[in-house]
């Protein structure tokens, strides 16, 4: 009714079916043209057993954006599945709450994936999850197709879940169809931490990602950073989309570091193309849906995997058979040495190379792109970081900018899988459930973060401004100031109520990203080179909205204008 208000309450008998009013009334809802189902998801169970909610509690439909057909679909869906969250019966183990709005076969996927399929004014998936957590609490269950997913939205919930059973009860990795098609199902990506997994993880931590090994990559990183600067100098003075330049530099570095493939070599060029095409398919919203509903559609990914395997096997065979190709002191050499010692298979060697090149490119490239865009939006902070580099050679302010970028635009947490039943916040989560820590919600919690609004870019929140000199807070001084349980350098930063589990750009626990130290060094070296040699400003209005996929990337490549400083 036109006179009702958003705070109006109605009592619904259980079970009940509700159809939302479709008219966009500005006096009832702010921004009525925006598709935001979470606006009407404020439903709780009263003490009397009745369900209380705002009018239109099941589905919000804006006819102007979606069309009358969507209303018919909504009616059909509600007719088939018109129910709200069922209360937990006494005598059963306490289960986490389940948001209403499950669809037959698809579960909550349609409500979370509306933005991905291009529905006008739809909320991004990570923001929908963030809003749901505020309604249903720090542990809730969603259903993606037939798969149950526990969403964890507080540091305490994340710690309890990922530390259960000594950290191994939740150390499984879901084996989605797209991951299997891409070859990410063995080695470091194994669904369970078996003996091969432990051998390979120990190898990469000792041989590839120990602090001394990471520092040895600095000359190679500086060379690639110089090539990036040269490429941007060539287009200085006119708007350019920086994303292709950054990704090309990140791919080139990883292939040289892992396989000693020089830029421009036929194998390097072919691998670059295969990696880019595979990544575009993995991050396609259609792929995410088919992963959970069992619809076949991975033939192109499997073909790319075969072509990539042919190149990697040729590199491995050449390294074994050609004396001139040996002793490259790259990651492949370390893998082959471990293979001889522990008798691991060629399949595991290949899988590990695929894992590192897949995960090690896009996360770093997205972080560098976000940092460049945020410094373009805040020219005074860009100048401060540049001034610090020029004066000291190592910028603590730049380090704070990097940490703030990883917080504000935090990479999404790779889901885990429960290998055993666990209890989190007094609630029971059964074995086989996927665990999805809400790293974005944790990084944007106004209670956990101080120094400014959590949605603002404020590098100073990572700085100790009370001392005589501006310096990084002590907990940020280590090479990798996050990671949760099991890491000696795990510490919280910039907060009241410090906890390591609120800042998770590289995961935590048994599946903590082993390459976090290398990724941070890569970001530092590339950012330092860009700040030293170039200045930049927006070439058009900046769009800093986020696209939810395997990484949290800028929704659209933004044009920037670079200017050579010398």
Supply 323's token pair.
């004396």
446 exposed, middle or buried (CB, 10 Å; 0-12, 13-18, 19+)? exposed
Extract the annotated binding site for heme: 513
List the one residue out of 451, 429, 434, 455 whose CA is nearest residue 443. 455
Label residue 104 exposed, middle or buried (CB < 10 Å: 0-12, 13-18, 19+): exposed
Query: Where would I find the beta strands (DSSP E) of 145-192?
Result: 147-152
**φ, ψ for residue 143, nearest 5 deg:** -120, 120
Dihedral of alpha carbons 190, 269, 254, 552, sign: negative
Residue numbers in the known binding site are 513
What torsion do the CA atoms of 170, 173, 174, 177 make, to the nearest 10 degrees?
A: 180
Helices (H) then strands (E): counts for the chain: 19, 16
Q: How far is it, in rounded angstroms, from Cα 519 to Cα 37? A: 37
Beta-bridge partner residues of 535: 563
Longest CA span, the chain: 83
- Cβ atoms of 20 and 32 closer than 8 Å: no
**Could you give the angle at the alpha carbon of 327 between the alpha carbons of 326 and 329, nearest 5°?**
130
Q: Residues 349, 178, 366, 473: what is their CA dihedral angle, to the nearest 10 degrees?
A: -70
Beta carbons of 141 and 286 less than 8 angstroms apart: no
Question: For residues 304 and 113, what is the distance between their CA atoms, to the nearest angstrom?
Answer: 26
**Measured on CA atoms in the order 465, 466, 469, 472, is the torsion positive or negative?**
negative
SS3 268: helix
Task: Name 236's bridge partners.
Answer: none
């Amino acid at each position: 009714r036109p006179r009702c208000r958003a705070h109006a309450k109605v009592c619904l008998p259980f079970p009940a079916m509700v159809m939302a009013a479709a008219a966009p009334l500005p006096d009832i809802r702010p921004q009525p043209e925006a598709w935001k189902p979470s606006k009407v998801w404020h439903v709780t169970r009263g003490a009397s057993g009745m369900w209380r909610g705002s009018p239109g509690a099941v589905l919000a439909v804006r006819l102007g954006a979606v069309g009358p057909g969507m209303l018919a679909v909504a009616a059909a869906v509600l007719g088939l599945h018109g129910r709200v969250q069922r209360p937990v019966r006494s005598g059963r183990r306490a289960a986490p709450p389940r948001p209403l709005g499950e669809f037959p076969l698809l579960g909550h996927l349609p409500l979370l994936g509306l933005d991905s399929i291009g529905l006008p004014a739809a909320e991004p998936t990570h923001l929908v999850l963030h809003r749901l957590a505020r309604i249903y609490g720090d542990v809730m269950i969603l259903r993606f197709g037939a798969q149950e997913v526990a969403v964890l939205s507080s540091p305490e919930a994340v710690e309890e879940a990922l530390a259960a059973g000594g950290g191994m009860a939740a150390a499984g990795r879901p084996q989605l169809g797209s991951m299997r098609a891409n070859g990410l199902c063995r080695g470091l990506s194994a669904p369970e931490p078996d003996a091969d997994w432990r051998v390979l993880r120990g190898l990469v931590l000792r041989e590839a990602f120990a602090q001394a090994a990471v520092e040895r990559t600095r000359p190679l990183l500086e060379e690639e950073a110089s090539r990036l600067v040269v490429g941007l100098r060539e287009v200085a003075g006119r708007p350019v989309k920086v994303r292709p330049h950054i990704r090309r530099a990140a791919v080139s570095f990883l292939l040289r570091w892992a396989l000693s493939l020089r830029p421009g070599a036929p194998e390097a060029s072919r691998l670059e193309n295969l990696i880019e095409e595979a990544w575009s398919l993995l991050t396609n919203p259609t792929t995410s849906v088919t992963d959970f509903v069992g619809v076949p559609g991975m033939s192109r990914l499997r073909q790319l995997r075969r072509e990539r395997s042919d190149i990697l096997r040729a590199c491995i065979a050449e390294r074994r058979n050609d004396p001139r190709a040996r002793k490259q002191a790259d990651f492949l050499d370390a893998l082959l040495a471990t293979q001889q010692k522990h008798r691991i298979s060629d399949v595991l060697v290949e899988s590990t190379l695929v894992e590192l090149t897949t995960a090690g490119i896009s996360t770093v490239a997205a972080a560098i792109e976000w940092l460049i865009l945020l410094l373009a939006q805040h020219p005074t902070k860009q100048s401060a970081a540049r001034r610090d580099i020029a004066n000291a050679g190592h910028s603590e302010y730049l380090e704070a900018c990097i940490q703030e970028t990883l917080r504000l635009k935090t990479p999404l947490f790779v889901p885990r899988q429960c290998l055993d039943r666990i209890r989190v916040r007094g609630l029971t989560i059964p074995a086989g459930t996927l665990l999805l820590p809400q790293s974005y919600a944790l990084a944007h919690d106004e209670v956990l973060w101080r120094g400014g609004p959590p949605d603002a870019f404020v590098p100073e929140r990572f700085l100790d401004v009370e001392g005589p000199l501006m310096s990084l807070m002590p907990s940020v001084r280590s090479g990798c100031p996050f990671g949760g349980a099991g890491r000696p350098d795990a510490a919280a930063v910039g907060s009241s109520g410090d906890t390591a589990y609120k800042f998770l750009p590289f995961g935590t626990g048994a599946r903590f990203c082993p390459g976090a130290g290398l990724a941070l060094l890569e970001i530092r070296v590339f950012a330092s080179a860009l700040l030293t040699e170039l200045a930049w400003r927006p070439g058009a209005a900046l769009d800093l909205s986020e696209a939810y996929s395997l990484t949290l990337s800028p929704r659209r490549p933004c044009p920037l204008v670079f200017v050579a400083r010398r």
